Amino acid sequence: MRLQDKVALITGAGSGIGRETALLFAAQGAAVVAVDLNEASGEETVHAITNRGGRAGFVRADVSKAEDCRAMVDHAETTFGKLNVLFNNAGISHAEDDDAVNTTEAVWDLTFAVNVKGVFLGCKYGIPALRRAGGGSIINTASFVALLGAATPQLAYTASKGAVLALSRELATVHAREKIRVNALCPGPLNTELLMKYLDTEEKRQRRLVHIPMGRFGEAREMAYAALYLASDESSFVTGSEFTVDGGITAAYVTPE
- The set of catalytic residues is 157
Q: Give one word for 9, left, alpha or beta, with left for phi > 0 and alpha for psi -120 to 50.
A: beta
Burial of 29 (0-12, 13-18, 19+ CB in 10 A): middle
Q: Give one word for 44, left, alpha or beta, with left for phi > 0 and alpha for psi -120 to 50.
A: alpha
Taking the alpha carbons at both ends of the chain, their separation in whole angstroms is 41
Please provide the DSSP assignment of the chain as one string: -TTTT-EEEEETTTSHHHHHHHHHHHHTT-EEEEEES-HHHHHHHHHHHHTTT-EEEEEE--TTSHHHHHHHHHHHHHHHS---EEEE------TT---TTTS-HHHHHHHHIIIIIHHHHHHHHHHHHHHHTT-EEEEEE--THHHH--SS--HHHHHHHHHHHHHHHHHHHHHGGGTEEEEEEEE-SBSSHHHHTT--SHHHHHHHHTT-TTSS-B-HHHHHHHHHHHHSGGGTT--S-EEEESTTHHHHHSPP-
* Amino acid, single-letter form, for residue 236: S
